[in-house]
Structure 1
Amino acid sequence: MKEVIPVRRKHRKRIRLARFVVLLLFILIISGTIVAFGDNFSNREGSAISPRTVGSENTQSSIGPEPSPSSDQTVTPSHNKIFYNGTSEGKKVALTFDDGPDTIATPKILDILKENGIKATFFIVGTQAEAHPDMVRRIEEEGHAIGNHSWSHPHFDKMTKEEALQQIDDVQEQLKSIIGYSPSMVRPPYGALTKDEEKAIHEKGLDIVNWSVDTMDWSGASAKKIMELVHEELYPGGIILQHCFGGKDHLSNTIEALEQMIPELQEQGYTFVSVPELLGIPDKL
């Protein structure tokens, strides 16, 4: 029996050692699985697409892959889409005025805005800026946002891409010579442009801004009709289209409607802001 005891002890030690080795291997396998899973999870989290600001159901979005940067390529736009309105959070609204400036309607509009402490956005035509640089300066000095509305107000969708871009570039240079910077926003005349033009404008780092409320003021619609359209089409985050040059009777209907619109919308709880503030985009390049 004295000979048997050491053998059994050796056997037990071997069993314990084998169990220990198996347990160690099991722990190593589990640890490796956890690390691999954690790395995979982290990679998925890190590669998630960044959220973009999207307006209401009327916002046309062309979200897609960002253009690949190169040494001579222009900057990426703030948002790769066309804006028609802002978000519905808060009762904010943006007043916009196209086609100017002039020396008849534009000063009256600026006076009303100043009296009410409101900042609006003016989409300027190049020929008008060239003719009335002092009025452009007044718009900028009084704190309003400025956008590009083409050089001569043509139909972009009936032009070549190169012609449309030249219209935009000419206004950018003209405005920079007057106010010292080029705007970051473009509103195509009539809100129309081709997909190729849209892409090319975005590749210049410019945001495209249209509207959600068309007051039809240029057509001679009465102040009453303008207000009816505003009440029918406006919702929080809306962008109202009006004009500060052209139209019938020097836009006297626009002036009359604006004097009614501001207090009425304020009574409804709306706050007037510029387009860049409404959309959260830069106001200049």
Structure 2
Amino acid sequence: AHLVAVTFDDGPDGTVTPQLLAVLGRHGVRCTFFLLVDQAERHPELVHAVRDAGHEIALHGIDHRPLPRMGHRGALRYLRDARRRLEAVAGTTVRLYRPPYGLQSPASWVAARRAGLDVIVWSADAADWEDGPADVVLSRAVAGLAPGGILLLHERLEPGPDGEHVQTGFDRAALVDLLLTEADERGMTAVTVGELSRGGPRRTAWFR
């Protein structure tokens, strides 16, 4: 089977995360959750549920602040603190980091590496932060299913880069259910980023 990494940002979320875990469990797949420390400390039981279901726990930040504005020293302090706190909640080693909005600078990238983190972005964005009919969002997500790729999805939404708040009306767990069914029909298997990096074709530039 072709491998594709399915990833979720901005969680955990009190409502959506349990629904997502149920869907992923039914499909028998494991994914990567890029968590915010503020959310993780608010919902430690959900972090444990994600971990215990065999999913990969990764870092998305303490909050959703873009790293490049902090400078190298500030970013290094922030990431070391974030990693330590997430590992304390999760009880696992955290090695992967996705910068909010994908925003990086040379200084922030070096800071992440010095904090012991691999920087992971994505090769396809379902744009599930835009509201719209579920079938439109689904078609964007399905279009991102490429062997060796990393698909970006969200459990919940932080304000956008300009501070704009976005509300979406579609059912996120139902979307993922349909997406995984479609992936299966195309002969693709959803995996964690770690599994993809160990066994998948390196066809897309998702280490940046």
Q: Give TM-score, length-normalised by structure 1.
A: 0.63
Secondary structure of 1:146's counterpart equals: strand
The amino acid that maps onto 1:204 is A
Q: What is the match of residue 180 of structure 1?
A: 91
**Pair 1:265 & 2:176 matched:** no
CA RMSD of aligned residues (A): 1.8
Q: What is the match of residue 206 of structure 2?
A: none
Q: Give TM-score, length-normalised by structure 2.
A: 0.85
Instruction: Tell me which of 32, 53, 59 is aligned to 1:148.
Output: 59
Aligned-residue offset at 1:199? 1.8
Aligned-residue offset at 1:110? 0.8
Q: Which has the higher helix share?
A: 1
Instruction: Tell me which of 93, 105, 114 is aligned to 2:4.
Output: 93
CA contact (8 A) 1:129 1:174 kept: no
Distance 2:13 2:141 in 1: 24
Distance 1:166 1:157 in 2: 13
Aligned-residue offset at 1:255? 2.1
Instruction: Tell me which of 70, 82, 87 is aligned to 1:171.
Output: 82
**Pair 1:111 & 2:22 matched:** yes
The amino acid that maps onto 1:208 is V
Q: Which has the higher strand share?
A: 2
Aligned-residue offset at 1:192? 0.8
Gaps of 5+ in 1: 1-89
* Larger RCO, structures 1/2 (Cα 8 Å, 6+ apart): 2
Distance 1:134 1:232 in 2: 33
Secondary structure of 2:104's counterpart equals: coil
**Pair 1:279 & 2:197 matched:** yes
Distance 1:162 1:126 in 2: 20
**Alpha-carbon distance change, 164 to 225 in structure 1, aligned in 2, over 3 angstroms:** farther
Q: Which has the larger radius of gyration?
A: 1
Give the percent of matched residue pairs that are identical in Structure 1 and Structure 2.
34
Q: What is the match of residue 248 of structure 1?
A: 167
How many residues are aligned here? Answer: 191
Aligned-residue offset at 1:213? 1.2
Distance 1:212 1:168 in 2: 23
Secondary structure of 2:11's counterpart equals: coil
Distance 2:40 2:175 in 1: 25
Aligned-residue offset at 1:176? 2.1
1:1-285 alignment to 2 at 5 Å? 91-246=2-157, 248-249=167-168, 252-280=170-198
Aligned-residue offset at 1:183? 0.4
